[in-house]
Structure 1
Amino acid sequence: MSDPRSRPGAGTATERELSRQPEVWREAAGIVADRRAELTAFLEPLLAEPDLRIVLTGAGSSAFVGEVAAPALARRLHRRVEAVATTDLVSDPRGRLAEDVPTLLVSFARSGDSPESLAATEIADQVLTRVHHLVITCAPEGRLARAHAGETQSLVLLTPARSNDEGFAMTSSFTSMLLSVLLVLLGDDPAAVEAVAEAGRQVLDARDRAEVFAARSPRRLVFLGSGPLAGIARESALKVLELTAGGIDTYFDSALGFRHGPKAVLDETTSVVVYASADPFTARYDDDIVRELRGAVGDDAVLTVRATGGGPTGEGTTDWVLTGLDGLDDAWLAVPFVLVGQLLALTASARAGVATDDPFPSGAVNRVVQGVTIHPLESH
């Protein structure tokens, strides 16, 4: 393990928040367990309704929490679970909430102060006859948490205080909200939480591998994932783009989708990270694209992240294999897997000389989005 003082981003809030995530995950699980009776009382009547629709919403990284969780929740709960960004819900509410059916709107927000966060819940109340709100947020003082605190149709779940990242980019806030929603809707699972936390520690203990891969200094960085892992491919691409202040062009897609045009991005300056599914069927498609990519840009330009037994592995730094995750759905694997993308973003930021905690000192891009006008929804 490298000397902590020489790590990329050492001394920054981002590096500190990234590094303590396994401990924060255990704390998040404890919070959910402590509130289980309250959660059950709120959710049980809703989940008993056969036509209940669950909508997972948020903006930016918070939206990607829903993209990761939705496929796994739909499969386990045997009901409709959709991920719809607040940015889409606010701008096209009658399209995104076209069916007036009983709805549980699950809102994710680090601060809860982004203009769309509260607006999405207010608009849902306008266009739907029956809607309940589960708010999962890191900030008790945020507008979203304050608006829904104590409301009969709402429940606010706070993640650990340490998950409310001070740095520009969401790291522990993203993973804590993801872990929390899985536990809330699938039930407490101490064994899964411990396996995920241990896998996260494996990533952090081997962070030198991210430094070696980033040392290729790619101009373009592609992240691929299938099913729930498509969401962390998108999140990883955003992290690199944010923390390098746009200095590295990033792309994301699914293993199959990448061939349909986006593959044009490949050249000698491109590196690729593939998050490989633990599902044996889905993993076949991941392995196919890995073989194709290694033939196109070389073994050292393609990094796979997978759990033990997830498929063929290569040599040296081309595979990052995590142990102890057997039997877990890809949405659980996403929690430790995304640390690889976060470490690559942190390393690339440091190599580029960008101020990691404040990559946009001019204010061109803000930690909490500004400049959005929420227009009233006219009834017609």
Structure 2
Amino acid sequence: MTDLLNRDPQAWRDIDGLATAEEIAHQPAVWRALCDDLCATQPAIAAFLGERLNNPAQRVILTGAGSSAYVGAIVADELERCWPAQVRAVATTSLLTHPELYLRHDVPTLLVSFARSGNSPESLAAVELVRDIVRDARFLNITCNAEGALARQHPDHPGGRVLNLLMPPASCDRGFAMTSSFTCMLLAALAVLGKERYAERLPQLAALAEQALRDWAAPVAALAARPVQRVVYLGSGPLEALAREAALKILELTGGRVLALAETPLGFRHGPKSALNADTLVVLFRGSAPLAQRYEQDLLDELRRDGVAGRCVTVGRDGDFAAAAPAWADAWLAPLWLLMAQQYALHQSATLGLTPDNPFVDGTVNRVVRGVTIHRHDQP
């Protein structure tokens, strides 16, 4: 009898995929633990933030690299909608190369860093960069690793300018790909920087995720049993960044053997559609906005009418992979829809005979990025 994402746990262990499978499956429990932790630390969070988000002059930069950057991109518009403060997502990989575009000495700036390990060189360098350039800088580190360099860098900075918001220990994924760490940090950002009543919302979302994991396990495994050359993920608004994270998951867990592309439904016609062939799977994340839904449906009808792609499926309230989700903002539902893409990538890795917990056994790509030389911003 299968009891872990449509496989026996021993079968996952045999192919070196047990850690990733467990980390995908335990996300509802991690989200509940996150809720408890945030409720306990709410006074410290409130004291740290003060009234800064109500200040139109306050700049909030959501940053990270790779998957961690997509966390910020998913939540940025939702947070920008909530507050007078200026909220934007800027990857550390952009912040380090072009600081003059994003940082000003006289603009108060809150740098929100997302990091699973807290040891990537870009994350650490971004903090130092902002500290060097911005006079009134504060730092909120949302990280899964209490022992990481980011959490230990400035734990007792004078003036209360640093707050380390540690995720539940189980969120610090052992596998190569970020799964529970991604969704946990995303929900933490929405909870502490948004306005929703997260103490009610997070348990509700966890219950929906448990049901989705049960309902989707067999259909996702069946879909992934058919090898593909390419996967296209499509999403509108905040779900565009979700599509990028989903595409990265299939790239990572298949060791690059399955090529992946992410776009918006409207943007897909402007060239990227040429990537389609009979060995392509298209996955459309259905958004909640009625206007976006009409554009999404137009493209979906077109793709099915053309018949160029091998298969098109949808994920969302009324999708092929559906859940009875409430009428929440897309950013809040993104972790739920991502469960489908995470499972699909894991099963594709198994279909290709790879080792999902470490798809790059040759070390060409690493769990924590290596080989980055940090260059000073103030040197010619």
The alignment partner of 1:136 has SS state of strand
Write the letter of the residue equivalent to 2:278: E
Shift of 1:99: 7.4
1:204 pairs, out of 202, 213, 229, with 213
Write the letter of the residue equivalent to 1:10: W
1:65-214 maps to which residues of 2 (within 5 A)? 65-97=71-103, 100-151=106-157, 152-187=160-195, 188-205=197-214, 206-214=216-224
Write the letter of the residue equivalent to 2:359: P
Give the Cα separation in 2 of the matches to 1:7 and 1:277.
34
8 Å CA contact 2:280, 2:310 repeated in 1:
no
The alignment partner of 2:322 has SS state of strand
More displaced stretch, 9-18 vs 343-352? 9-18
8 Å CA contact 2:71, 2:114 repeated in 1:
yes
1:41-80 maps to which residues of 2 (within 5 A)? 41-80=47-86
Write the letter of the residue equivalent to 2:212: V
Write the letter of the residue equivalent to 2:141: V
8 Å CA contact 1:275, 1:304 repeated in 2:
yes
Match of 1:326 in 2: 326
8 Å CA contact 1:266, 1:297 repeated in 2:
no
Shift of 1:190: 2.7
1:266 pairs, out of 235, 251, 276, with 276
1:1-20 maps to which residues of 2 (within 5 A)? 2-4=2-4, 6=7, 10-11=12-13, 12-20=18-26
More displaced stretch, 18-27 vs 293-302? 293-302
Give the Cα separation in 2 of the matches to 1:79 and 1:306.
31
Match of 1:275 in 2: 285
Shift of 1:263: 0.7
1:252 pairs, out of 249, 253, 262, with 262
The alignment partner of 2:61 has SS state of strand
Question: 5+ unaligned residues in a row in structure 2: which ranges?
Answer: none
Aligned pair count?
370
Deviation string for 1:216-257 (max 9, x for gaps)? Answer: 321110001111111110011001000000110100011111
Give the Cα separation in 1 of the matches to 2:104 and 2:135.
12
1:299/1:194 CA distance change after superposition, 3 Å: farther
Identity over aligned pairs, percent: 44
Shift of 1:47: 1.8
Shift of 1:379: 6.1
Give the Cα separation in 1 of the matches to 2:302 and 2:369.
39
8 Å CA contact 1:109, 1:117 repeated in 2:
yes
1:337-352 maps to which residues of 2 (within 5 A)? 337-352=337-352
Are positions 1:296 and 2:306 aligned together?
yes
More displaced stretch, 212-221 vs 248-257? 212-221
Deviation string for 1:305-339 (max 9, x for gaps)? Answer: 1125xxxx5xxxxx11111x222100011011111
Shift of 1:100: 4.0
Match of 1:367 in 2: 367
Shift of 1:101: 1.4
Give the Cα separation in 1 of the matches to 2:210 and 2:308.
29
8 Å CA contact 1:229, 1:275 repeated in 2:
yes
Give the Cα separation in 1 of the matches to 2:205 and 2:298.
26
8 Å CA contact 1:94, 1:127 repeated in 2:
no
Give the Cα separation in 2 of the matches to 1:244 and 1:110.
21
The alignment partner of 2:373 has SS state of coil
Q: What is the alpha-carbon root mean square deviation over aligned residues?
A: 1.9
Give the TM-score normalised by the residue count of structure 1: 0.93
8 Å CA contact 1:169, 1:242 repeated in 2:
yes
Give the Cα separation in 2 of the matches to 1:272 and 1:355.
24
Give the TM-score normalised by the residue count of structure 2: 0.93
Deviation string for 1:60-94 (max 9, x for gaps)? Answer: 10000001000111112244211100011111111
Runs (4 or more) in structure 1 with deviation over 6 Å come to none
Shift of 1:2: 4.4
Give the Cα separation in 1 of the matches to 2:3 and 2:166.
34
Question: 5+ unaligned residues in a row in structure 1: which ranges?
Answer: 314-318
